Amino acid sequence: MRKKDYYAVLGVSRDADTETIKRSYRRLALQYHPDKNPGNKEAEERFKEISEAYEVLSDPDKRRQYDLFGNVGGAQSTGRDPFSQMVEEVFESFFGGGRQTRRPTAIAGEDIRITIELNLEEIARGTSREVEYLRQETCERCEGTGSADGMRPRTCSKCGGSGQVAYRVGGGFFQQIVYQECPECRGMGFEILHPCVACRGTGVLPKKHIRTVEIPPGSMGGMTLSLRGAGHQGPWGGPPGDLLLEIIEKSHPVFLREGENLIYEAWVSYPDLVLGSTLEVPTLTGESLSIRIEPGTPSGEVYRIPGKGLPRYGSRKKGDLLIQVHVWVPRKLDKSEKELLEEIRKHKAFSPTAKRPEKGFFHRLKEFFLGQTR
């Protein structure tokens, strides 16, 4: 006769796999654990029964013996709390486990970040800059080992190379495993018995470094260019970090930037818009372009010059130069100038009419960006 039906105790079938048994035990243990039911003797006995069943069915040899003979040599609870062990396994799986060790290995160096200011002319043609910065480089005295005797770091004897030490707080369901930085190796997992007097065991020393960097055309403000391996050398022969160049774009006194396009604001007189004129427009390359303003051009009209903008980063294509034409309105007039304008204002040709609605400036600019205008 079977003393107890362990399968019934855990509420699983006889062909249940190990994972199903474990899930059922975990659910029941949470429900009946004494820490959640203080003073409840019935719950305490139920928890012991659940733990005893799990101890047998979770062990393949004990489960086989139980299935054949209905007992496991008078099996009784060993006093070991499998639920507490399960909690510890969960904490160790999440936090790395204080017992895991690692062999001393090189540590990668940190990146170095430098800001570079560029104007639109430099962005258009590309440029080179000489940058000067402090860089951690391999200590020549110890050849990067960090040790005065040339020996590489060894595994920390206190934390076993994990860089952490574990402390168990509480008990039962409410126990916690707290991990803290190892005080012996300061979290590195390694220790050096005889540190190098030059680098104090780090294997690296700061050194002024000068490097010429090439900045390709089409860069943008906020863009970061990365030079692999030009950063700090890693301790104990570790790989170097990168040199990161953060681009800052200076404002231009003549042009505005909109992506790859340049915007130039041209101010012309009212007669030039009415009668037509020729406008000289500068470019970033120093050349001058002649733009014909047709008679009757409204203020705010936008002219597009293809290929006269900025280059696209990593491509041979270029943006456009957009020329915004604005009418110049003088703030002060003498008596004769005022009389002339008063005479012009009397003519019907200079009076606004609803028959010829004009598109607003921003509407026309939007059309140009969408490629819908001439």
User: What is the mean pLDDT of the segment spanning 314-318?
Assistant: 87
Please give the CATH superfamily to which domain 6-80 belongs.
DnaJ domain (1.10.287.110)
**Res. 176 pLDDT band, cuts 50 70 90:** low
Q: Mean per-residue pLDDT for 227-244?
A: 89
Q: How far apart are CA 85 and CA 131, in angstroms?
A: 57
pLDDT value at 200 more than 90: no
Mean pLDDT over 54-82 rounds to: 70
Question: What's the confidence (pLDDT) of residue 305?
Answer: 92
- The mean per-residue pLDDT over the stretch 303-310 comes to 92
Share of the chain above pLDDT 70, in %: 80
- Fold adopted by 112-140+202-249: HSP40/DNAj peptide-binding domain (2.60.260)
pLDDT of residue 207: 93
90: pLDDT strictly greater than 60: no
Among 83-97, 107-121, 176-190, which is the least confidently predicted range?
83-97
Question: The domain 255-334+360-369 is classified under which CATH number: 2.60.260.20, 1.10.357.10, 3.10.310.70, 1.10.10.10?
Answer: 2.60.260.20
Strands (E), the chain: 112-118, 127-138, 154-155, 164-169, 176-181, 190-191, 204-215, 224-227, 243-249, 255-258, 261-268, 277-282, 288-293, 302-305, 321-327
Helix 82-95 with 41-57: angle, nearest 10 deg: 70
Question: How far apart, in whole angstroms, are the C-alpha atoms of residue 325 and residue 297?
Answer: 9
Distances (CA, A) of 48 to 10, 40, 63: 12, 13, 18
pLDDT of residue 83: 52
For residue 212, list its beta bridge partners: 130
Domain positions in the chain? 6-80, 82-107+154-191, 112-140+202-249, 255-334+360-369
Three-state SS letters, 41-61: HHHHHHHHHHHHHHHHHCCHH
Summarize the confidence of residues 111-132 as an average pLDDT: 93
Both tokens of 144, joined, read 């990067």
CB 320 within 8 A of CB 312: no
Is residue 84 scored above 70 in pLDDT? no
Q: Round to whole Å and give the CA distance between 9 and 52.
A: 9
What is the pLDDT at residue 190? 76
pLDDT of residue 97: 43
Nearest to 111 by CA among 208, 199, 233: 233
Please check whether the two domains, 6-80 and 112-140+202-249, share a CATH topology. no
- The amino acid that residue 143 corresponds to is E
Mean pLDDT of the chain: 80
CA distance 105 to 236: 8
pLDDT in tens, 10-33: 898 888 888 888 888 888 888 888
Measured between alpha carbons, how far is residue 302 from residues 196, 324, 362 in Å? Answer: 69, 5, 10
pLDDT at residue 163 above 70?
A: yes
Is residue 71 a contact partner of residue 62, using CB atoms and an 8 Å limit?
no
